[in-house]
């Protein structure tokens, strides 16, 4: 480590790992934080899409005459006048077809036109006046899946089928998860500004740099003509990772009219036009010896995709490395339905995949007459058997043991309905979880300013997870500058390019870039302190000095003996010194680290349910979660992430599913009255523990992400508890009260 970095761990102890309130919290609670749809500009116009009322067929006629004659209407965009929009290569977009590209309808709600008017009300009324005649065919929205593509073999080792056939104890069951719709509080939105040459696009984006690349290609312009801004995001859960057609519609409308255009999708459109977690159907075959050692694991899954686009939910994301078995085989296939293109949703792949795997493990434990905890401990691997690599850090065994102790698992009696409290039947279940550890290319810039502040900039985003605060903590840890004097700039493609806010990878990616940039700025400050005859450190060398608590001082002297960096800058007539840093080795699958180590986070959920058969009432009353996610930089923010994920898991297990009308293909519960999400009343008592073991392989501080692992496995823990309480095995989510009433 260089001179500047020496002793940084001692400094970091003051800030890193401390319970820290979010620095952006006051802006959010006071309403000063501007979200995308909050932006308003002179001459603002409003766009409202016209959505198809069929899911399969063609447009035979589109009559916009009545709409164009209505008050305030400035433009009706459609296939005939939108102009050329290009397909995208090398950047991420889930729905590859440009808006209004042809007259074929492939899902209910597909945009067929868009009205732009001087008020939202005028645009809404005019959109309803657009008349569309269709040639309609029957849609396919069946939730039972059959493969439309040949099964593709993923991970494979040994002879899985023959080992299964010979196994002493077997489980062979199919598990189904439904369409789940992202329902963040903030709706998708675009505010597009065209100045005659360039676009400034205010977006609800989890990836502003990718968004810019998509828009540059789609609009047929150059990178210097597009700027994308996302200062604050009202969450996204993966649905806002990649641009959707409304983004292009708003930009074209702004260009054609020469005025700013705002387009905010409706809550109903959230169920149609901006992705969802797809249906998954997974056949799990587990074989074991009589004493519980896995000898075979097979996972054959089919996931729903759209008519045009291939989206695969990687249900085997965790399967190859989760448990030890010499024989394993995974296959994947797609099934096309007349539904919109799916996209990533919190913990894509691993969340539905671990519901199936952890449910099957519970069924195997039952068949073995074995405790579910002991079954998992017995099958703990000593390395990643999927790729043969060592684990960078894995403490799943300790997670399970710690969780069992905190939950009181030793008091569990295995009989169905055998546990009671206050007249209610209790069910106890558990499930393990995993999520990948990764990093992405990241650049950052840090300034130490003469006014006593610091400024750190990176073109990543804060989607509500605490990135603003983490970046301030990193700068504060290296400099001793108070967090309230550190300004963080994020969410702008004019800033140094940063990582996608997906995969729980932002923290692990910004750590090296921000620390490098801060140390480079400090190095420049120490050099400045030694220059010139008037400085207090004339004749000294930078390596003689240290920077701590905002002071430049001799290494062998306390900080208060030195000079504040503001004095150093003032004496040199400098406004600021700056440093830059980068993390260039990352980017998910092609990270060189992934060729040397298996890098993942692990954990366990223990769930308690209360069942009252007399009134058919089921409630998740208690969840104990233990997470091994490396070093925890801000326990308050990390705990908040896990708690939110657990509540989302309650919704996944008991409530959430999007239902489609088989006649029209329409999502019939496309609102928050009929699409049920977990509320405060459904929230159990949640106990979260972090093991806090640094993973030095991934980054200097040993931190991995915690955003998604909290949802992985939660639904299985709950449905396993439901079985313990009722004797009803839930293999298709969500659990339905009418099914439990059979108990």
Q: Which residues are catalytic?
A: 708
Beta 104-105 vs 545-548: how paired, if at all?
Answer: unpaired
Sole residue written with tokens 């963080």 = 488
Report whether 154 contacts 333 (CB < 8 A): no
Rg of the chain in Å (alpha carbons): 28
Q: What are the backbone angles phi and psi of residue 39, rounded to the nearest 5°? A: -75, 135
| Cα(190)–Cα(215) distance, integer angstroms | 12
Tokens representing residue 349 in the block: 């792949």
Cβ–Cβ contacts within 10 Å for residue 455, how many?
17
| Cα(500)–Cα(262) distance, integer angstroms | 24
Report whether 692 contacts 331 (CB < 8 A): no
Beta 152-157 vs 328-336: how paired, if at all?
Answer: antiparallel
Q: Helix 350-368 crosses helix 714-726 at what angle (to 10 degrees)?
A: 30
**H/E segment holding residue 436:** strand 424-436
Q: H helices of 293-334, where?
A: 319-322
Torsion of CA 363, 365, 366, 372, to 10 degrees: -100
**H/E segment holding residue 294:** strand 294-305
Cβ–Cβ contacts within 10 Å for residue 567, how many?
16
Between vectors from CA 742 to CA 737 and to CA 743, what angle results, nearest 5°? 95
| Closest alpha carbon to 698 in 347, 392, 317, 386 | 392
Tokens representing residue 556 in the block: 């062998």
Q: What is the DSSP annotation of 173-209?
A: EEEEE--B----SSPPEEEEEE-SS-EEEEE--S-HH
| Cα(474)–Cα(513) distance, integer angstroms | 10
Q: H helices of 635-713, where?
A: 635-654
Tokens representing residue 635 in the block: 């326990």
Tokens representing residue 601 in the block: 């986070």
Between vectors from CA 195 to CA 127 and to CA 250, what angle results, nearest 5°? 25
Helix, strand or coil, per DSSP, at residue 443:
strand
Kindly give, in sequence order, each residue whose CB lies less than 8 Å from that of residue 594, ignoring residues fewer than 6 positions away. 438
Helix, strand or coil, per DSSP, at residue 65:
helix
Task: Give the number of C-alpha atoms closer than 13 A to the C-alpha of residue 408, restricted to the C-beta side.
Answer: 9
Report whether 340 contacts 107 (CB < 8 A): yes
Tokens representing residue 505 in the block: 């990878």
| Cα(157)–Cα(296) distance, integer angstroms | 10
Tokens representing residue 371 in the block: 């405790």
């Amino acid at each position: 480590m260089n001179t500047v970095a020496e002793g940084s761990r001692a400094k970091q102890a003051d800030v890193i790992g401390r319970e820290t309130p979010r620095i952006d919290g006051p802006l959010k609670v006071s309403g000063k934080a501007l979200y995308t749809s909050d932006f308003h500009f002179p001459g603002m116009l409003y766009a409202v899409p016209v959505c198809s009322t069929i899911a399969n067929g063609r447009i035979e006629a589109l009559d916009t005459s009545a709409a164009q004659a209505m008050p305030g209407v400035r433009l009706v965009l459609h296939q005939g006048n939108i102009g050329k929009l290009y397909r995208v290569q090398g950047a991420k977009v889930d729905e590859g077809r440009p808006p209004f590209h042809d007259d074929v309808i492939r899902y209910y709600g597909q945009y067929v036109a868009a009205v732009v008017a001087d008020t939202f009300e005028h645009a809404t009324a005019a959109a309803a006046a657009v008349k569309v005649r269709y040639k309609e065919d029957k849609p396919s929205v069946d939730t039972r899946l059959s493969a439309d593509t040949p099964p593709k073999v993923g991970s494979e080792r040994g002879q899985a089928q023959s080992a299964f056939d010979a196994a002493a104890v077997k489980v062979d069951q199919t598990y189904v998860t439904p369409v789940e719709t992202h329902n963040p509080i903030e709706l998708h939105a675009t505010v597009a500004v065209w100045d005659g040459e360039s676009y400034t696009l205010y977006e609800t984006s989890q990836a502003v740099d990718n968004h810019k690349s998509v828009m540059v290609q789609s609009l047929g312009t150059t990178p210097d003509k597009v700027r994308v801004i996302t200062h604050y995001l009202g969450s996204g859960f993966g649905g806002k990772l990649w641009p959707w057609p409304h983004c292009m519609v708003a930009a074209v409308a702004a260009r054609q009219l020469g005025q700013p255009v705002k387009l905010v999708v409706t809550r109903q459109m959230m169920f149609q036009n901006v992705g969802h977690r797809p249906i998954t159907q997974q056949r799990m075959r587990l074989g074991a010896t009589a004493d519980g050692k896995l000898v075979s694991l097979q996972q054959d899954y089919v996931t729903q995709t759209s008519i045009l686009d291939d989206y695969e939910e990687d249900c085997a994301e965790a399967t190859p490395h989760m448990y030890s078995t010499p024989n394993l085989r995974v296959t994947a296939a797609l099934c096309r339905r007349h539904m919109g293109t799916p996209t990533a949703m919190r913990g894509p792949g691993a969340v539905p995949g671990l519901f199936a795997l952890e449910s099957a493990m519970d069924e195997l434990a039952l068949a073995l007459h074995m405790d579910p905890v002991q079954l998992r401990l017995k099958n703990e691997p000593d390395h990643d058997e999927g790729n043969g690599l060592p684990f960078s850090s894995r403490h799943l065994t300790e997670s399970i043991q710690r969780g069992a102790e905190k939950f009181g698992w030793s008091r569990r009696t295995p009989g169905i309905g055998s546990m009671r409290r206050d007249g209610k039947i209790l069910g106890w279940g558990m499930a393990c979880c995993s999520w990948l550890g990764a990093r992405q290319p990241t650049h950052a810039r840090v300034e130490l300013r003469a006014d006593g502040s610091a400024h750190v900039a990176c073109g990543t985003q804060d989607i509500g997870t605490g990135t603003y605060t983490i970046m301030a903590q990193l700068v504060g840890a290296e400099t001793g500058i108070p967090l309230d004097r550190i300004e963080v700039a994020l969410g702008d493609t004019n800033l140094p390019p940063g990582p996608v806010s997906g995969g729980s990878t932002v923290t692990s990616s910004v750590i090296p870039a921000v620390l490098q940039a801060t140390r480079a700025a400090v190095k420049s400050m120490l050099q400045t302190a030694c220059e010139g005859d008037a400085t207090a450190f004339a004749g000294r060398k930078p390596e003689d000095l240290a920077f701590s608590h905002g002071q430049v001082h001799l290494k062998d002297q306390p900080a208060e003996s030195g000079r504040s960096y503001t004095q150093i800058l003032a004496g040199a007539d400098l406004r600021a010194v700056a440093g830059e840093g980068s993390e260039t080795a990352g980017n998910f699958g092609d990270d060189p680290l992934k060729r040397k180590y298996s890098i993942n986070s692990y954990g366990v959920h223990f769930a308690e349910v209360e069942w009252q058969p007399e009134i058919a009432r089921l409630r998740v009353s208690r969840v104990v979660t233990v997470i091994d996610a490396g070093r925890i930089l801000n326990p308050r923010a990390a705990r908040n992430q896990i708690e939110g994920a657990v509540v989302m898991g309650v919704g996944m297990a008991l409530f959430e599913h999007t239902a489609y009308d088989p006649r029209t293909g329409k999502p019939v519960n496309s609102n928050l009255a009929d699409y049920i999400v977990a509320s405060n009343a459904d929230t159990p008592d949640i106990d979260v523990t972090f093991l806090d073991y640094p993973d030095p392989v991934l980054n200097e501080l040993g931190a991995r992400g915690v955003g998604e692992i909290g949802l992985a496995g939660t639904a299985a823990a709950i449905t396993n508890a439901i079985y313990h309480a009722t004797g009803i095995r839930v293999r298709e989510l969500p659990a339905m009260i009418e099914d439990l009433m059979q108990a």
